[in-house]
A and B are shown apart, each in its own frame.
Chain A
Amino acid sequence: MPPTTGSGRAEITRDEVRHLADLARIDLDDAELDHLAPQLSVILDSVASIAEVAADEIPPTSHAITLTNVFRDDVVVPSLTAEEALRGAPAQEQQRFEVPRILGDEQ
């Protein structure tokens, strides 16, 4: 489904918001969905006009200032110690980040 443009409204449904939040790994409860979904429709409606502005031959710009690949010499420089790197970790074990299980029972 292409975005609606011009006079049509770019609607985003409650289910779509739930799906997008799921893709973005954010739990949203019903109250949040009720609150955010209409606001997101208004925002999308306001940016929908973008589709009509630029002709096909206009090249896209990802960065305003032209980027070139940057290399550095392969030399060792001081870096964080393991203790420093782990200091902000929610949990750690044996000098490693301790994380919740990453596989389900069926896996």
Chain B
Amino acid sequence: MITRTAADLADALAAGETTSVDLTRAHLDRIAEVDGGIHAFLHVDEEGALAQAAESDARRAAGEPASPLDGVPIAVKDVLATRGLPTTCGSKILEGWIPPYDATVIERLRAAGLPILGKTNMDEFAMGSSTEHSAYGPTHNPWDPERIPGGSGGGSAAAVAAFEAPLALGTDTGGSIRQPGAVTGTVGVKPTYGGISRYGLVAMANSLDQVGPVTRSVLDSALLHEVIGGHDPRDSTSIDQPLPGLVDAARRGASGDLTGVRIGVVKELSGEGYQAGVQQRFDEAVQLLVGAGAEVVEVSCPHFVHALAAYYLIMPIEASSNLARFDAMRYGLRVAPAGIDDPSAEQVMRATREAGFGDEVKRRIIIGTYALSSGYYDAYYGQAQKVRTLISRDFEAAFAQVDVLASPTSPTTAFKIGEKLDDPLAMYLNDVATIPANLAGVPGISVPAGLAPEDGLPVGLQFLAPALADDRVYRVGAAAEALLEKQWGAPLLDRLPEVATK
């Protein structure tokens, strides 16, 4: 049962073939069985999930389901505030913190009746591409436990890939939903900036962060997106207009017909740095789309080559400001400096931030502080913001010619744990294809494109659409998924090696 999609599970619940309690229990059992080796979860809420499942069963029995997904359990990235459940952001500085409020997306999950299985592992404050920067130890890729599951949302992606949860929430600042999706053979969506409330999302870079779905099918992502999306007056950047029909778009795409759809392959997101097997699977997938009636052209986005540099200024600049709130005064860790009697608040703050933040967080705070310093501001932040404009203009020009853009999601398959941990630049390059969407605020999806021939590991296919046209990534993503699965004869995760039980 646990290998079925969320849409199938919702149908089974609606048909009375199973109950939410059974379904939730089955996933909790799976977590108990395999998570010792995967470490996707930082916290499992067995009692709470089963109580929510029982309430869901009562609603279904009364003929009053709260939503199509009522009773389907979900895992939540530990960067989202959950009332009564620990929320650590993968950091020691928030160890043991239990938020007194729910993020808007969590409120919406609860209102829609989805039992929350627990909180998933992540790079500390979502800073990383491998989940190795978690203060609580790395998550392992279910395809090969010696490899990374991507990041920062490696826990959510691994949980979904290892059938520990049918659905999960992630957040994507530079690729933290899509890149883990790519390297674990799952689906991940970064919605249009402002399409999903950020209230209760602990901010890394607030002009880039977006919450989004992590699932095993495109339709499941659309179903979840419709539950969590839409306007929220508590987020001043929330877009005050209805979502386009995402589930409808995914169902339409699943027919596999792309007649009249124009797809642009981004010239700058290929070539040097892209693994041969990644490029091969991408090219093959594009040929399938051509066969389905899509009109495929190459487009150039010349400023994308500067996206990484702009991102690795804007993100740490915003992060250094956002993380100033961890001051040891109102919540979280408080450490007294050694050897000082009656230390001042400032001395306590310094000692706490030294002890509570990991290396990558310190690196980014220092880079951000540097770039915001007097005399450097215009050269770094000012220039990065101008490059952001140029990247948005590249998207505008491209979307004047085509409906969606396509690229590999990540330049490589999953690398070995430890391989890039102390080489920040090599780590940052994992985000090269996903970052432009965050800088421009446009939606993107990653769907499995197959296994790279040289290492047998999953490859992701990315589609990007104009802002507010999230329905397009669902339509084209669902079409690609249907065409590829027809060719494979089954979903990619059917080929997942047996996950070790511990």
Residue numbers of A with Cβ under 8 A of B are 1-3, 12, 16-17, 20-21, 23-29, 32, 35-36, 39-40, 42-44, 46-51, 53-54, 58-65, 67, 70, 72, 80, 84-85, 87-91, 97, 99-104
| Pairs across A and B, CB under 8 Å, 14 listed | A2-B379, A16-B370, A24-B353, A36-B366, A44-B370, A54-B387, A54-B389, A54-B390, A58-B390, A63-B237, A65-B467, A84-B100, A88-B98, A100-B348
- Cβ of B425 within 8 Å of any chain A Cβ, yes or no, is yes
Contact B366 A27 (CB under 8 A): no
Q: Which chain A residues lie closer than 8 Å to B367 at the CB level?
A: 40, 43-44
Assembled-state Cα–Cα distance A80/B369 (Å):
33
User: What secondary structure prevails in chain B residues at the interface with A?
Assistant: helix
Bound-state CA distance A16–B194 (Å) is 37
Query: A43-B367, A61-B388 are known contacts; what are 20 more A-B pairs with Cβ within 8 Å?
Result: A2-B375, A2-B376, A12-B370, A20-B369, A43-B428, A47-B384, A50-B306, A50-B380, A51-B380, A60-B382, A60-B386, A63-B237, A64-B388, A64-B441, A65-B237, A70-B233, A87-B98, A90-B334, A99-B345, A101-B344
Residues on B lying within 8 angstroms of A by beta carbon are: 97-101, 192-194, 207, 233, 236-237, 239, 303, 306, 308-310, 312-313, 320, 324, 327-334, 337, 342-351, 353-354, 357, 359, 362-363, 365-367, 369-370, 373, 375-376, 379-380, 382-390, 392, 422, 424-425, 428, 439-442, 467
Smallest beta-carbon distance B389→chain A, Å: 4
Chain B residues lying within 8 Å of A103, measured Cβ to Cβ, are 344
Beyond A24-B366, A47-B380, A50-B310, is A62–B389 a contact (Cβ under 8 Å)? no
Using Cβ atoms and an 8 Å threshold, which residues of chain A touch B348? 100
A24 touches B369 (CB 8 A): yes
Interface of A (DSSP majority class): loop
> Which residues of B are found within 8 Å of A61, using beta-carbon distances?
385-386, 388-389, 392
Bound-complex Cα distance A26 to B434 (A):
31
- Separation of A12 and B332 alpha carbons in the complex (Å): 31
Number of CB contacts from chain A to chain B under 8 A: 187
Hey, which chain A residues are within 8 Å of B236, CB to CB? Answer: 67, 70
**With A25-B350, A104-B344 given, is the CB distance from A89 to B330 under 8 Å?**
yes
Give bound CA distance, A17 to B337, whole Å.
20
Please indicate the chain A residues that have their CB under 8 angstroms from the CB of B428 in the complex.
43, 46
Given known A-B contacts A21-B366, A50-B384, A27 and B424 have beta carbons under 8 A apart: no
